Structure 1
Amino acid sequence: MFDGTDTVLVIGAHPDDEVLGAGGAMAKHAAAGDEVHVLIVTEGTTQQYGDDEDLIEEKQTDARTCAETLGVSAIHFGGLPDMRLDEVAHVDVNAAIEDACAEIGPDIVYTHSRREVNRDHVEIHDSTLVATRPGTDVSTVLAYETPSSTDFAPGTDGFDPDLFVDIEEHLETKIEAFGSYEIEKRPFPHPRSPEALEAIARSRGAASGVPAAEAFDVLRAYR
Protein backbone atom coordinates (compact mmCIF):
# COMPACT_ATOMS: atom_id res chain seq x y z
CA MET A 1 0.00 0.00 0.00
CA PHE A 2 1.03 3.61 -0.66
CA ASP A 3 3.78 2.58 -3.05
CA GLY A 4 2.43 4.08 -6.27
CA THR A 5 1.58 0.73 -7.87
CA ASP A 6 -2.06 0.28 -6.82
CA THR A 7 -5.44 1.30 -8.18
CA VAL A 8 -7.71 2.27 -5.29
CA LEU A 9 -11.51 2.51 -5.13
CA VAL A 10 -13.23 4.23 -2.22
CA ILE A 11 -16.97 3.51 -2.03
CA GLY A 12 -19.41 5.75 -0.18
CA ALA A 13 -23.17 5.62 0.07
CA HIS A 14 -23.52 9.42 0.07
CA PRO A 15 -21.44 12.45 -0.87
CA ASP A 16 -19.09 13.13 2.08
CA ASP A 17 -18.89 9.53 3.38
CA GLU A 18 -15.72 8.97 1.37
CA VAL A 19 -13.77 11.86 2.89
CA LEU A 20 -15.11 11.34 6.41
CA GLY A 21 -14.00 7.72 6.44
CA ALA A 22 -10.89 7.59 4.30
CA GLY A 23 -9.96 11.11 3.24
CA GLY A 24 -6.51 10.92 4.78
CA ALA A 25 -5.74 7.55 3.23
CA MET A 26 -7.01 8.78 -0.14
CA ALA A 27 -4.68 11.78 -0.03
CA LYS A 28 -1.81 9.54 1.03
CA HIS A 29 -2.46 7.10 -1.83
CA ALA A 30 -2.63 9.97 -4.33
CA ALA A 31 0.56 11.55 -3.00
CA ALA A 32 2.34 8.20 -3.36
CA GLY A 33 1.29 7.96 -7.01
CA ASP A 34 -1.54 5.44 -6.67
CA GLU A 35 -4.56 5.88 -8.95
CA VAL A 36 -7.51 6.75 -6.70
CA HIS A 37 -11.18 6.51 -7.68
CA VAL A 38 -14.34 7.31 -5.72
CA LEU A 39 -17.79 5.78 -6.20
CA ILE A 40 -20.76 7.59 -4.61
CA VAL A 41 -23.57 5.07 -4.88
CA THR A 42 -26.63 7.27 -4.16
CA GLU A 43 -27.53 10.80 -5.21
CA GLY A 44 -27.50 11.74 -1.52
CA THR A 45 -30.43 14.15 -1.61
CA THR A 46 -33.98 12.96 -2.14
CA GLN A 47 -34.82 11.66 1.32
CA GLN A 48 -33.16 14.47 3.27
CA TYR A 49 -33.79 17.49 1.04
CA GLY A 50 -36.49 16.46 -1.43
CA ASP A 51 -36.33 15.64 -5.11
CA ASP A 52 -34.22 18.67 -6.02
CA GLU A 53 -32.24 18.22 -9.23
CA ASP A 54 -30.29 21.42 -8.59
CA LEU A 55 -29.20 20.15 -5.19
CA ILE A 56 -28.16 16.81 -6.65
CA GLU A 57 -25.96 18.68 -9.11
CA GLU A 58 -24.62 20.88 -6.31
CA LYS A 59 -23.65 17.83 -4.26
CA GLN A 60 -21.92 16.27 -7.25
CA THR A 61 -20.01 19.51 -7.76
CA ASP A 62 -19.02 19.46 -4.07
CA ALA A 63 -17.89 15.84 -4.45
CA ARG A 64 -15.72 16.76 -7.43
CA THR A 65 -14.17 19.66 -5.52
CA CYS A 66 -13.48 17.35 -2.58
CA ALA A 67 -11.93 14.76 -4.88
CA GLU A 68 -9.71 17.35 -6.54
CA THR A 69 -8.45 18.53 -3.16
CA LEU A 70 -7.53 14.96 -2.20
CA GLY A 71 -5.83 14.21 -5.53
CA VAL A 72 -8.44 11.70 -6.69
CA SER A 73 -8.12 10.57 -10.32
CA ALA A 74 -11.85 10.19 -11.04
CA ILE A 75 -15.19 10.22 -9.27
CA HIS A 76 -18.17 8.06 -10.28
CA PHE A 77 -21.85 8.38 -9.36
CA GLY A 78 -24.26 5.44 -9.07
CA GLY A 79 -27.41 7.58 -8.85
CA LEU A 80 -29.38 5.17 -6.65
CA PRO A 81 -32.02 6.60 -4.27
CA ASP A 82 -30.78 8.20 -1.07
CA MET A 83 -31.76 6.57 2.24
CA ARG A 84 -33.70 3.86 0.42
CA LEU A 85 -31.11 1.27 -0.54
CA ASP A 86 -32.90 -1.28 1.63
CA GLU A 87 -35.81 -0.93 -0.82
CA VAL A 88 -33.62 -1.41 -3.90
CA ALA A 89 -33.13 -4.99 -5.10
CA HIS A 90 -29.89 -6.31 -3.64
CA VAL A 91 -28.69 -7.35 -7.09
CA ASP A 92 -29.07 -3.75 -8.30
CA VAL A 93 -26.90 -2.38 -5.47
CA ASN A 94 -24.41 -5.16 -6.20
CA ALA A 95 -24.42 -4.21 -9.87
CA ALA A 96 -23.57 -0.57 -9.19
CA ILE A 97 -20.42 -1.64 -7.35
CA GLU A 98 -19.61 -4.55 -9.65
CA ASP A 99 -19.82 -2.28 -12.70
CA ALA A 100 -17.46 0.23 -11.08
CA CYS A 101 -14.99 -2.51 -10.18
CA ALA A 102 -15.13 -3.89 -13.72
CA GLU A 103 -14.46 -0.44 -15.17
CA ILE A 104 -11.74 0.62 -12.73
CA GLY A 105 -10.04 -2.68 -11.87
CA PRO A 106 -9.09 -1.77 -8.29
CA ASP A 107 -6.44 -3.56 -6.27
CA ILE A 108 -7.61 -2.01 -2.98
CA VAL A 109 -11.23 -1.20 -2.06
CA TYR A 110 -12.38 0.89 0.90
CA THR A 111 -16.02 0.64 1.95
CA HIS A 112 -18.41 1.19 4.84
CA SER A 113 -18.32 -0.80 8.04
CA ARG A 114 -21.27 -3.02 8.84
CA ARG A 115 -21.56 -1.39 12.25
CA GLU A 116 -23.60 1.59 11.11
CA VAL A 117 -26.75 3.35 12.25
CA ASN A 118 -27.33 4.39 8.62
CA ARG A 119 -28.99 1.55 6.73
CA ASP A 120 -27.60 2.66 3.36
CA HIS A 121 -24.10 2.13 4.73
CA VAL A 122 -24.93 -1.44 5.73
CA GLU A 123 -26.30 -2.19 2.27
CA ILE A 124 -23.12 -0.82 0.67
CA HIS A 125 -20.96 -2.93 2.98
CA ASP A 126 -22.83 -6.11 2.06
CA SER A 127 -22.80 -5.37 -1.67
CA THR A 128 -19.10 -4.54 -1.62
CA LEU A 129 -18.36 -8.00 -0.23
CA VAL A 130 -20.33 -9.49 -3.12
CA ALA A 131 -18.58 -7.33 -5.73
CA THR A 132 -15.11 -8.13 -4.34
CA ARG A 133 -15.69 -11.81 -3.58
CA PRO A 134 -12.91 -14.36 -4.14
CA GLY A 135 -12.13 -14.71 -7.83
CA THR A 136 -12.06 -10.98 -8.52
CA ASP A 137 -8.77 -9.12 -8.91
CA VAL A 138 -9.28 -7.11 -5.72
CA SER A 139 -6.48 -7.97 -3.31
CA THR A 140 -7.53 -5.95 -0.25
CA VAL A 141 -10.91 -4.82 1.13
CA LEU A 142 -10.98 -2.40 4.07
CA ALA A 143 -13.88 -0.98 6.05
CA TYR A 144 -13.75 2.59 7.35
CA GLU A 145 -15.65 4.30 10.13
CA THR A 146 -18.12 7.07 9.28
CA PRO A 147 -18.46 9.75 11.98
CA SER A 148 -22.11 10.21 13.06
CA SER A 149 -23.00 6.71 11.90
CA THR A 150 -20.45 4.10 13.01
CA ASP A 151 -20.03 5.83 16.36
CA PHE A 152 -23.81 6.13 16.86
CA ALA A 153 -24.48 2.42 16.27
CA PRO A 154 -25.20 0.31 19.38
CA GLY A 155 -23.45 -2.91 20.23
CA THR A 156 -20.06 -4.20 19.11
CA ASP A 157 -20.90 -6.03 15.88
CA GLY A 158 -19.01 -4.84 12.82
CA PHE A 159 -16.23 -2.26 13.10
CA ASP A 160 -13.14 -3.69 14.78
CA PRO A 161 -10.11 -1.79 13.44
CA ASP A 162 -6.90 -3.71 13.01
CA LEU A 163 -5.15 -1.41 10.54
CA PHE A 164 -4.10 2.14 11.39
CA VAL A 165 -2.80 4.47 8.68
CA ASP A 166 -0.60 7.42 9.63
CA ILE A 167 -2.23 10.51 8.07
CA GLU A 168 -0.37 13.25 9.94
CA GLU A 169 0.92 14.75 6.68
CA HIS A 170 -2.56 14.63 5.13
CA LEU A 171 -4.89 15.54 8.00
CA GLU A 172 -5.09 19.20 7.02
CA THR A 173 -5.92 18.17 3.44
CA LYS A 174 -8.68 15.85 4.67
CA ILE A 175 -10.28 18.61 6.73
CA GLU A 176 -9.98 21.08 3.85
CA ALA A 177 -11.57 18.56 1.48
CA PHE A 178 -14.47 17.93 3.87
CA GLY A 179 -15.07 21.67 3.82
CA SER A 180 -16.23 21.25 0.21
CA TYR A 181 -19.47 19.82 1.64
CA GLU A 182 -20.71 22.98 3.32
CA ILE A 183 -24.26 21.61 3.58
CA GLU A 184 -23.03 18.57 5.55
CA LYS A 185 -20.86 20.42 8.09
CA ARG A 186 -22.12 20.71 11.66
CA PRO A 187 -20.90 22.74 14.63
CA PHE A 188 -18.60 21.10 17.17
CA PRO A 189 -19.01 18.75 19.04
CA HIS A 190 -20.97 17.04 16.26
CA PRO A 191 -18.80 14.31 14.67
CA ARG A 192 -19.19 15.97 11.24
CA SER A 193 -17.33 19.10 12.29
CA PRO A 194 -13.73 19.95 11.42
CA GLU A 195 -12.78 19.98 15.10
CA ALA A 196 -14.27 16.52 15.66
CA LEU A 197 -12.56 15.10 12.58
CA GLU A 198 -9.22 16.26 13.93
CA ALA A 199 -10.03 14.86 17.38
CA ILE A 200 -10.92 11.46 15.90
CA ALA A 201 -7.66 11.41 13.91
CA ARG A 202 -5.65 12.37 16.99
CA SER A 203 -7.37 9.67 19.05
CA ARG A 204 -6.71 7.02 16.41
CA GLY A 205 -3.15 8.25 16.22
CA ALA A 206 -2.70 7.99 19.98
CA ALA A 207 -3.95 4.40 19.80
CA SER A 208 -1.31 3.54 17.22
CA GLY A 209 1.70 5.60 18.20
CA VAL A 210 1.53 8.36 15.59
CA PRO A 211 0.26 11.97 15.75
CA ALA A 212 -2.84 11.31 13.57
CA ALA A 213 -4.34 8.22 11.96
CA GLU A 214 -7.35 6.67 10.30
CA ALA A 215 -8.52 3.25 11.44
CA PHE A 216 -9.73 0.43 9.21
CA ASP A 217 -11.15 -3.06 9.59
CA VAL A 218 -9.46 -5.54 7.25
CA LEU A 219 -12.34 -7.45 5.67
CA ARG A 220 -10.32 -9.42 3.14
CA ALA A 221 -6.68 -9.57 2.10
CA TYR A 222 -5.35 -11.95 -0.55
CA ARG A 223 -1.63 -12.49 -1.00
Structure 2
Amino acid sequence: MTDRLPHTLRSDARDNRERILDAARAVFAAEGLTVPMREIARRAGVGPATLYRRYPTKEMLVTEAFTDQMRACQSIVDEGLADPDPWHGFCLVIEKICELHARDRGFTAAFMSTFPHAMDFAAIRAYSLTSVAELARRAKDAGRLRPDFVLDDLILMLMANSGIHASSPAARVAASRRFAALTLQAFHTSPASSPLPPAPRLVPGVSTHRRNPTGETDG
Protein backbone atom coordinates (compact mmCIF):
# COMPACT_ATOMS: atom_id res chain seq x y z
CA MET A 1 0.00 0.00 0.00
CA THR A 2 2.80 2.42 0.94
CA ASP A 3 4.67 1.69 -2.28
CA ARG A 4 1.63 2.56 -4.41
CA LEU A 5 0.74 5.79 -2.61
CA PRO A 6 3.07 8.21 -4.51
CA HIS A 7 1.76 6.95 -7.85
CA THR A 8 -1.83 7.34 -6.63
CA LEU A 9 -1.18 10.90 -5.51
CA ARG A 10 0.43 11.76 -8.84
CA SER A 11 -2.53 10.28 -10.67
CA ASP A 12 -4.96 12.25 -8.49
CA ALA A 13 -2.99 15.43 -9.15
CA ARG A 14 -3.14 14.85 -12.90
CA ASP A 15 -6.86 14.20 -12.73
CA ASN A 16 -7.40 17.35 -10.68
CA ARG A 17 -5.41 19.40 -13.18
CA GLU A 18 -7.47 18.13 -16.10
CA ARG A 19 -10.75 18.73 -14.29
CA ILE A 20 -9.70 22.24 -13.30
CA LEU A 21 -8.54 23.18 -16.80
CA ASP A 22 -11.58 21.65 -18.48
CA ALA A 23 -13.88 23.57 -16.13
CA ALA A 24 -11.88 26.78 -16.54
CA ARG A 25 -11.96 26.68 -20.34
CA ALA A 26 -15.70 25.97 -20.38
CA VAL A 27 -16.51 28.71 -17.86
CA PHE A 28 -14.20 31.32 -19.37
CA ALA A 29 -15.53 30.65 -22.87
CA ALA A 30 -19.15 30.86 -21.77
CA GLU A 31 -19.04 33.62 -19.14
CA GLY A 32 -15.79 35.54 -19.60
CA LEU A 33 -12.70 35.85 -17.43
CA THR A 34 -14.40 37.48 -14.42
CA VAL A 35 -15.82 34.20 -13.09
CA PRO A 36 -14.61 33.73 -9.46
CA MET A 37 -11.98 31.10 -8.79
CA ARG A 38 -14.26 29.42 -6.24
CA GLU A 39 -16.87 28.88 -8.94
CA ILE A 40 -14.29 27.20 -11.15
CA ALA A 41 -13.28 24.95 -8.25
CA ARG A 42 -16.94 24.06 -7.66
CA ARG A 43 -17.51 23.14 -11.30
CA ALA A 44 -14.28 21.15 -11.37
CA GLY A 45 -15.34 19.19 -8.29
CA VAL A 46 -12.29 20.18 -6.25
CA GLY A 47 -11.88 22.27 -3.11
CA PRO A 48 -10.73 25.92 -3.34
CA ALA A 49 -7.53 24.97 -1.50
CA THR A 50 -6.68 22.44 -4.22
CA LEU A 51 -7.26 25.05 -6.92
CA TYR A 52 -5.22 27.77 -5.22
CA ARG A 53 -2.40 25.36 -4.38
CA ARG A 54 -1.91 24.66 -8.08
CA TYR A 55 -2.90 28.11 -9.39
CA PRO A 56 -2.30 30.87 -6.79
CA THR A 57 -3.61 33.56 -9.19
CA LYS A 58 -6.29 33.65 -11.84
CA GLU A 59 -3.75 34.81 -14.43
CA MET A 60 -1.76 31.60 -13.88
CA LEU A 61 -4.91 29.50 -14.36
CA VAL A 62 -6.09 31.40 -17.45
CA THR A 63 -2.60 31.28 -18.99
CA GLU A 64 -2.31 27.52 -18.55
CA ALA A 65 -5.81 26.98 -19.96
CA PHE A 66 -4.89 29.14 -22.95
CA THR A 67 -1.55 27.37 -23.37
CA ASP A 68 -3.36 24.05 -23.63
CA GLN A 69 -5.63 25.62 -26.24
CA MET A 70 -2.63 26.76 -28.29
CA ARG A 71 -1.04 23.33 -28.02
CA ALA A 72 -4.23 21.80 -29.37
CA CYS A 73 -4.16 24.23 -32.29
CA GLN A 74 -0.51 23.52 -33.07
CA SER A 75 -1.15 19.80 -32.80
CA ILE A 76 -3.88 20.11 -35.43
CA VAL A 77 -1.54 21.94 -37.80
CA ASP A 78 1.23 19.38 -37.22
CA GLU A 79 -1.25 16.56 -37.88
CA GLY A 80 -2.20 18.19 -41.18
CA LEU A 81 1.44 18.60 -42.22
CA ALA A 82 2.15 14.96 -41.42
CA ASP A 83 -0.66 13.71 -43.69
CA PRO A 84 0.80 12.18 -46.88
CA ASP A 85 -2.17 13.61 -48.82
CA PRO A 86 -1.71 17.41 -48.66
CA TRP A 87 -5.32 18.18 -49.60
CA HIS A 88 -6.64 15.81 -46.95
CA GLY A 89 -4.24 17.41 -44.45
CA PHE A 90 -5.40 20.88 -45.47
CA CYS A 91 -9.06 19.88 -45.04
CA LEU A 92 -8.29 18.35 -41.66
CA VAL A 93 -6.72 21.60 -40.44
CA ILE A 94 -9.64 23.73 -41.66
CA GLU A 95 -12.28 21.44 -40.16
CA LYS A 96 -10.62 20.99 -36.78
CA ILE A 97 -9.55 24.63 -36.36
CA CYS A 98 -13.06 25.82 -37.17
CA GLU A 99 -14.51 23.45 -34.59
CA LEU A 100 -11.92 24.47 -32.00
CA HIS A 101 -12.81 28.13 -32.53
CA ALA A 102 -16.53 27.36 -32.38
CA ARG A 103 -16.03 25.77 -28.97
CA ASP A 104 -13.74 28.63 -27.94
CA ARG A 105 -16.52 31.27 -27.87
CA GLY A 106 -14.17 34.23 -27.56
CA PHE A 107 -11.83 32.77 -24.92
CA THR A 108 -8.77 33.52 -27.07
CA ALA A 109 -9.78 37.14 -27.71
CA ALA A 110 -10.60 37.65 -24.04
CA PHE A 111 -7.26 36.23 -22.93
CA MET A 112 -5.25 38.31 -25.40
CA SER A 113 -7.01 41.54 -24.39
CA THR A 114 -6.84 40.87 -20.62
CA PHE A 115 -3.30 39.46 -20.44
CA PRO A 116 -1.55 40.92 -23.52
CA HIS A 117 1.96 40.24 -22.21
CA ALA A 118 1.43 36.74 -20.83
CA MET A 119 2.65 34.97 -23.96
CA ASP A 120 4.51 35.63 -27.20
CA PHE A 121 1.46 35.82 -29.45
CA ALA A 122 3.52 36.91 -32.45
CA ALA A 123 5.60 33.71 -32.34
CA ILE A 124 2.49 31.52 -32.00
CA ARG A 125 0.79 33.27 -34.92
CA ALA A 126 3.93 33.11 -37.10
CA TYR A 127 4.34 29.38 -36.48
CA SER A 128 0.73 28.64 -37.38
CA LEU A 129 0.69 30.79 -40.50
CA THR A 130 4.02 29.46 -41.75
CA SER A 131 2.87 25.87 -41.26
CA VAL A 132 -0.47 26.42 -42.98
CA ALA A 133 1.28 28.25 -45.84
CA GLU A 134 3.51 25.20 -46.37
CA LEU A 135 0.52 22.89 -46.31
CA ALA A 136 -1.33 25.11 -48.80
CA ARG A 137 1.71 25.10 -51.10
CA ARG A 138 1.75 21.29 -51.10
CA ALA A 139 -1.99 21.13 -51.79
CA LYS A 140 -1.57 23.55 -54.70
CA ASP A 141 1.33 21.52 -56.11
CA ALA A 142 -0.91 18.44 -55.94
CA GLY A 143 -3.51 20.29 -58.02
CA ARG A 144 -6.19 20.12 -55.32
CA LEU A 145 -6.16 23.63 -53.82
CA ARG A 146 -7.16 26.46 -56.15
CA PRO A 147 -4.04 28.34 -57.30
CA ASP A 148 -5.37 31.79 -56.31
CA PHE A 149 -5.78 30.81 -52.64
CA VAL A 150 -3.89 33.12 -50.26
CA LEU A 151 -3.51 33.06 -46.48
CA ASP A 152 -5.79 36.08 -46.20
CA ASP A 153 -8.57 33.77 -47.39
CA LEU A 154 -7.95 31.56 -44.35
CA ILE A 155 -7.98 34.55 -42.01
CA LEU A 156 -11.23 35.77 -43.59
CA MET A 157 -12.75 32.32 -43.12
CA LEU A 158 -11.76 32.20 -39.44
CA MET A 159 -13.21 35.68 -38.87
CA ALA A 160 -16.50 34.54 -40.40
CA ASN A 161 -16.46 31.32 -38.40
CA SER A 162 -15.99 33.22 -35.14
CA GLY A 163 -19.13 35.21 -35.89
CA ILE A 164 -21.42 32.18 -35.85
CA HIS A 165 -24.25 32.50 -33.32
CA ALA A 166 -26.53 29.59 -32.50
CA SER A 167 -29.11 28.52 -29.94
CA SER A 168 -26.75 26.11 -28.17
CA PRO A 169 -23.05 25.13 -28.11
CA ALA A 170 -23.88 21.95 -30.05
CA ALA A 171 -25.72 23.92 -32.75
CA ARG A 172 -22.79 26.34 -33.00
CA VAL A 173 -20.36 23.47 -33.57
CA ALA A 174 -22.71 21.91 -36.13
CA ALA A 175 -22.95 25.24 -37.96
CA SER A 176 -19.17 25.55 -37.92
CA ARG A 177 -18.80 22.10 -39.48
CA ARG A 178 -21.18 22.99 -42.27
CA PHE A 179 -19.44 26.31 -42.84
CA ALA A 180 -16.06 24.54 -43.04
CA ALA A 181 -17.45 22.06 -45.59
CA LEU A 182 -18.84 24.88 -47.73
CA THR A 183 -15.55 26.76 -47.52
CA LEU A 184 -13.49 23.74 -48.49
CA GLN A 185 -15.65 23.20 -51.56
CA ALA A 186 -14.92 26.80 -52.51
CA PHE A 187 -11.18 26.30 -51.93
CA HIS A 188 -11.04 23.13 -54.06
CA THR A 189 -9.81 23.45 -57.63
CA SER A 190 -13.00 21.82 -58.89
CA PRO A 191 -15.66 22.00 -56.15
CA ALA A 192 -17.30 18.63 -55.67
CA SER A 193 -20.94 18.14 -54.77
CA SER A 194 -20.22 15.95 -51.76
CA PRO A 195 -22.91 15.96 -49.03
CA LEU A 196 -22.72 18.76 -46.49
CA PRO A 197 -23.10 18.23 -42.73
CA PRO A 198 -26.66 18.78 -41.45
CA ALA A 199 -27.84 22.38 -41.32
CA PRO A 200 -28.60 23.46 -37.71
CA ARG A 201 -31.25 25.98 -36.69
CA LEU A 202 -29.49 29.28 -36.00
CA VAL A 203 -30.59 32.23 -33.89
CA PRO A 204 -31.47 35.12 -36.23
CA GLY A 205 -29.64 38.34 -35.49
CA VAL A 206 -27.59 39.11 -32.39
CA SER A 207 -30.08 41.08 -30.30
CA THR A 208 -30.97 38.00 -28.23
CA HIS A 209 -27.37 37.32 -27.26
CA ARG A 210 -26.07 38.58 -23.96
CA ARG A 211 -22.68 40.20 -23.88
CA ASN A 212 -19.83 38.75 -21.89
CA PRO A 213 -17.37 40.91 -19.92
CA THR A 214 -15.12 41.25 -22.99
CA GLY A 215 -17.90 43.01 -24.90
CA GLU A 216 -18.45 40.08 -27.27
CA THR A 217 -21.81 38.42 -27.74
CA ASP A 218 -22.39 34.86 -26.63
CA GLY A 219 -24.44 32.39 -28.61
| TM value normalised by structure 2 | 0.26
Higher helix proportion, which one? 2
Higher strand proportion, which one? 1
| TM value normalised by structure 1 | 0.25
Higher RCO (C-alpha under 8 Å, 6+ residues apart): 1
